[in-house]
Amino acid sequence: MAAMKPVGPVLVQGATAPSENEGDLSLKQEEIARRGHYFMALQREVEDRIERKLYRQGKILGGVYVGRGQEAICVGAGLVSEQEDWLYPCHRDLGLYLVRGVTPREIFAQYMGRVGGLTRGREGNMHMGDLKRRIVAIISAMAASVPVATGTAMALKFQRSRNIVFNIFGDGATSRGDWHEGLNLASVQKAPVVFICNNNQYAYSTPLEKQMACEHVADRAVGYGMPGEIVDGNDVMAVYRAVKRAADRARAGEGPSLVECKTFRMTGHSAHDGGDYVPDHLWTEWGEKCPIVRIERVMLERGWTTREELEQVHARIKREADEAIEWAENSPYPDASTLTEDVYEGSR
Amino acid sequence: MAEITYLEAIRQGIWEEMERDSKVFCLGEDIGVYGGAFKITKGMLERFGEERIVDTPIAESAIVGAAIGASFAGMRPVAEMQFSDFITCAFDQIVNFAAKTRYRWNAPAPLVVRAPSGGGIHGGPYHSQNPEAWFVRTPGLKVVEPATAYDAKGLIKSAIRDNDPVIFFEHKKLYRAIKGEVPEGDYTVPLGKARLHREGKHIAVITYGAMVHVAAEAAEVLDREGVSLEILDLRTLLPLDEEAILASVKKCSRVLVFHEDTLTGGVGGEISARISEKAFEWLDAPVVRLAAPDTPVPFSPPLEEAFLPNAAKVIEKARWLAGY
Ligand SMILES: Cc1ncc(C[n+]2csc(CCOP(=O)(O)OP(=O)(O)O)c2C)c(N)n1
Ligand SMILES: [Mg+2]
């Protein structure tokens, strides 16, 4: 445990590939980079379509929250997860769904309130889950998932499963009582769960210093007797490695960990918010740390890819999005007569 | 008199109370620099400073708990829930601490919890709820929900001046949709008093909040059919203005109790029970309720539309009552 004391924030420019002798990584570095890049770019494209096209065209109604600039966190964590592990994403973690195999078709249909979405139109935007794929939907109340993720982890431990739980939440969520109750219970129970904080330095308009008086979210871990690690949240390889360490620990029966990913929200809070309260220099500074551009640089430098190949990937993703939107728009709206179904088992 | 929105009326009311009484202060998420998710506290940080416009962490239980504690020390806190759907995070502080403290040990908790509620904005299950009934069954609280700009300002002032905890629901759909003549200076609207929104002869519609306007829309159509609706706007749900309810019931003899909240356990059940207990002989038809069906609030437009009460549904119920 002592080996994982909080370290200072790692805010380096280039994404960092691990040195050859670092730990046992279940995926080869090149593979992490390649898959990480694909899923980050896919998340970016799908969310750009949602926020900048479909929402503005009035085809998507209600709230729209995207993870622009923060994709490395959910994607890095997703790549660590095994197919039978449980995922508890939050509202900026579309990449986690994509890694698990949720399709852009289902996502667009979800946002448009069609039957082809994961919630058949009952819910909108990121309020989606799929029990078969072991993805648990958030409720809106921030941090409410934390005790719930803990309970799933306790059950997995009880069942002697090798599987673990990944729970992502924002910096603001860590102010809520549910967050603290959940972490404490998980730690006391040595529940196999990895708590991952997307610290994008804002909660809606509220900057971090009004959210908490300690410097790092990871500082909170010590109070619950679990390791807290800080990682560069714009570096998919670094996120992968930190989450992998925490996941290995959970799988080995050593209990939960808290991984704090430092990043920045490259949008307003939601599609209706321009984020005017954010000082200009932060947009510029963090705009240069785009996790997709950074991993592309690493891949090119290491000779894992070429410009042409990257362009092909982006072109393929664009086609995938086009096709998925068309599919979603052809998915019907739910029939009003289904309104009262499924309030209870078998209810009509 | 100026014509202002429901939203602006609430803002003016709070603003004037803060000018009038230095003990009044606001606390909540994003209420300072941002002026609140709906801009109710816009400009207040600049005018009143950080001690009186307190931006809090995301911690509803702490927001209400702190409001209770500050009220014990003589302050008049106005706590904002960003959406009424998150008021549940503060449930224990409201129903167990604030509501019972006067009764238990004679310690009043004069605070206001403001909560934007209601559907029709494509908000889905967690940005559309009407949670008033959870609080209406809690002795010790007062529960208010204005329908007009005039009442919104007058009632928020009364709520702030009241010596008991008041839960103040603001219908999100009314914020910018409803405008009205509102005096610029000081006035109050009393808590616990209903208001006759529209006089009528045949059917008394007992309602509140955004549904007052839905009922009024239906009344126009029904007028042409020779069915005259009286609309009673309750304004305060706890305590209920029983006198006003019974007066409308006795006048019209046919009653529609109407709310946007779901049917079972809704405020309408209590109102119907009181009517049958106290005005049974005056009734010419069963007391009819119109409310949302007993489901969560769905997101997809066709489902949300089927879920929400509307003028057509009022007309259908009214025709049935008229023909009874
Ligand atoms: C209990 C609760 N209160 C208020 C809100 C309204 N709200 C939605 S997101 C948000 C900010 C969340 O900040 P953070 O946890 O840092 O996540 P981020 O949006 O920055 O990713 C707020 C206040 C909420 N969802 N839940
Ligand atoms: Mg945040």
Please give the pLDDT value at position A16. Answer: 58
At A12 the pLDDT is 35
Nearest CB partner across the interface for B302, out of A143, A206, A334: A334
**How many Å apart are CA B112 and CA B40, to the nearest integer?**
14
Exposure b/e, B26-59, CB count within 10 A at least 16 = b = bbbbbbbbbbbbbebbbebbeebeeebbbbbbbb
How far is residue B88's CA from residue A176's CA, in Å, rounded to a whole number? 13
Q: Which ligand is nearest to the CA of A126?
A: 1
Residue-level pLDDT at A5: 43
Q: Do A172 and B121 touch (CB under 8 A)?
A: no
pLDDT of amino acid A348: 82
Cα B41 to Cα A16, B16, B318, distances in angstroms: 45, 12, 40
Domain B195-323 CATH (choose: 3.40.50.2300, 3.40.140.10, 3.40.50.920, 3.60.21.10)? 3.40.50.920
Tokens 């705009």 correspond to what residue? A287
Task: Give the pLDDT band of residue B1 (cuts 50, 70, 90).
Answer: confident
**Per-domain residue ranges of chain B:** 2-182, 195-323
**Pocket probe mutation, ligand 1, options B80, B82, B172, max atoms within 8 Å of Cβ:** B82
Longest pairwise C-alpha distance within chain A: 61
At residue B303, does pLDDT exceed 50? yes
Which residue out of A71, A198, A204, A272 has the highest number of ligand 1 atoms within 8 Å of its CB and is therefore the one to mutate?
A204
pTM score, two decimals? Answer: 0.94
Q: Transcribe A275-341 into DSSP letters.
A: -TTS-HHHHHHHHTT-HHHHHHHHHHHTTS--HHHHHHHHHHHHHHHHHHHHHHHHSPPPPGGGTTT
Whether residue A173 and residue B123 make contact (CB cut-off 8 A), yes or no, is no
CA B305 to each of CA A109, B73, B121, B212, B266: distance values in angstroms, whole numbers, following the listed order: 19, 46, 11, 18, 20
Amino acid at B27: L
Kindly report the average pLDDT of chain B as a whole number. 98
Residue pLDDT, tens place only, B13-47:
999 999 999 999 999 999 999 999 999 999 999 99
3-class state of residue B27 by DSSP? strand
B179-182 vs B2-5, strand pairing mode: antiparallel
Ligand 1: residues with CB < 6 A are A 92, 140-142, 170-173, 198, 200, 202-204, 265, 269; B 29, 58, 60, 82, 86, 89
Under DSSP, is residue B240 helix (H, G, I), strand (E, B) or coil? coil
Helix (H) and strand (E) counts in chain A: 11, 7
For residue B300, give the nearest of A113, A203, A204 by CB distance: A113
The pLDDT tens digits along chain A (348 residues) read: 334 443 333 333 445 555 544 544 546 899 999 999 999 999 999 999 999 999 999 999 999 999 999 999 999 999 999 999 999 999 999 999 999 999 999 999 999 999 999 999 999 999 999 999 999 999 999 999 999 999 999 999 999 999 999 999 999 999 999 999 999 999 999 999 999 999 999 999 999 999 999 999 999 999 999 999 999 999 999 999 999 999 999 999 999 999 999 999 999 999 999 999 999 999 999 999 999 999 999 999 999 999 999 999 999 999 999 999 999 999 999 999 999 999 999 988
pLDDT tens profile A218-235: 999 999 999 999 999 999
Burial of A253 from C-beta contacts in 10 A (0-12 / 13-18 / 19+): exposed
Backbone angles phi, psi at A196, to 5 degrees: -125, 120
Domain map (residue ranges) of chain A: 28-330
- For the segment B5-15, the average pLDDT, to the nearest whole number, is 98
The helix (run of H) or strand (run of E) holding residue B44 is helix B44-48
A28-330: in CATH 3.40.50.970: yes
- Domain pair B2-182 / B195-323, same fold: yes
Active site residue B127: yes
ipTM at complex level: 0.95
| CATH annotation of B2-182 | 3.40.50.970
Task: Give the closest residue to B201 by CA, choosing from B81, B303, B322, B107.
Answer: B322
